[in-house]
Amino acid sequence: MDKDIDVVIAWVDGNDPVHRASRLAYTENKLDNVRDDVAGETRYRQVGEINYCIASINKFAPWVRSIHIITDNQNPHVETFLEKIFPEGFIPVHIVDHKEVFRGYEKYLPTFNSRAIEAVAWRIKGLSEHYLYFNDDFLLTRPVQPEEFFDGDTSILQGYKVNTFVAKALRALRPRKNGHSKVSFRDSMLNAAEYLQAPSFIRVVHAPHPLRKSVWEKIYTEYPEMIERNVRHRFRHKEQFNTQSLYYIYALRNGLARMSGIKDSYLYLEPSGKSLSKVQRRLRRFDSVKNAHCCCFNSLDKASPEVFEEVMKWIKNKLEII
């Protein structure tokens, strides 16, 4: 492709005492807000994952024009890490404050909700038309090309379709815990389908999402109430939609996207509570998959010390970091 492609990453340092105090001011005496599925500590802790995420982009996708990190008056200072690995230079990093993407919606700040942030991430000033959205715990593991994410102006999606009616029936049967239904990843995608009146939703995977700024403008022009539906919630809420799934449903419906059809192209690993041997088996299996290009280590902060060490050794080996 001869088009500029940027990367967007939302990041937070929950260990920062200023950020923590601000968050606790809104969770104090509100039991719902401290549930893991809403605002548990693990959603904000970081153990340096973003350094390796951005290093992997530099190593395996050097054609990226710029990397935008959306933060709440914070800075991960990734340049210090990158200078050691790429002394000859690296992709420019741009720090974007919440106030920039929430312009016009400042009354909903501060926010501690990734779904709210993702709903307005496309509003970064100077963002390229074509861009990839990463979580900060994503890691590219082999060289990738722009054509793996965009076919001209068409987004190439990874995921699969799920029938909306069946998903609603399963949601109704799900048991409650302490009188509450879990604010789940799957439900946020089901919400996207319900809001767009789609017969199925796209079950997105934990891999880079190819998006276009002008498509978001079309979506929110056609459904002007949708931005506020997500950004008004300071913490995760059951009525919010998954932004990537919403984009995919709309883009497929309007001929602006297609499914990739590639299986086993990513690894999702939540190491919490898993034995070292099981994690090692998963990593070996991933190494054997030819198409694999990305992995996600969710809640790495909750891994046991030996599992954490094993994962970090594997990551450094992939990136050839001594």
CA atoms of 79 and 83, how far apart (whole Å) = 6
For residue 167, the model assigns a pLDDT of 77
A 10 A CB-CB count for 112 gives 23
Say which residues have a Cβ less than 8 Å from residue 210's Cβ, sequence separation at least 6. 130, 131, 132, 149, 150, 155, 156, 157
CA atoms of 232 and 66, how far apart (whole Å) = 29
For residue 136, the model assigns a pLDDT of 94
For residue 203, the model assigns a pLDDT of 86
3-state DSSP helix/strand/coil % of the chain, to nearest 5: 45, 20, 40
Question: E-assigned strands of the chain?
Answer: 5-10, 67-71, 93-97, 130-134, 138-140, 150-151, 154-157, 159-163, 200-204, 209-212, 257-259, 266-269, 294-297
pLDDT tens-place string over residues 239-257: 999 999 999 999 999 999 9
Query: Cis ω on the peptide bond leading into residue 110 (within 30° of 0)?
Result: yes
Q: Roughly how many angstroms between the first and final C-alpha of the chain, as a whole number?
A: 33
Domains and CATH numbers, the chain: 5-319 (3.90.550)
For residue 1, the model assigns a pLDDT of 62
Separation of CA 77 from chain center? 20
- Residue 91 contacts residue 140 (beta carbons within 8 Å): no
- Residue 118 contacts residue 240 (beta carbons within 8 Å): no
Backbone angles phi, psi at 293, to 5 degrees: -130, -5
A 10 A CB-CB count for 164 gives 20
Which percentage of the chain shows pLDDT scores above 70? 89
Tokens of residue 318, six digits: 């992939």
Burial call 197-206: b when 16+ CB within 10 Å, e when fewer: ebebbbbbbb
**Strand partners for 69:** 9, 95
- Residue 121 contacts residue 115 (beta carbons within 8 Å): no
Q: What is the pTM of this model?
A: 0.91
* Secondary element (H or E) of residue 110: none
For residue 165, the model assigns a pLDDT of 83
The residue ranges of the chain whose pLDDT is under 70 are 1, 28-44, 172-183, 262-264
Closest Cα partner for 259 from 206, 216, 203?
A: 203
CA atoms of 260 and 268, how far apart (whole Å) = 18
- Residue 279 contacts residue 221 (beta carbons within 8 Å): no
Backbone angles phi, psi at 284, to 5 degrees: -65, -40
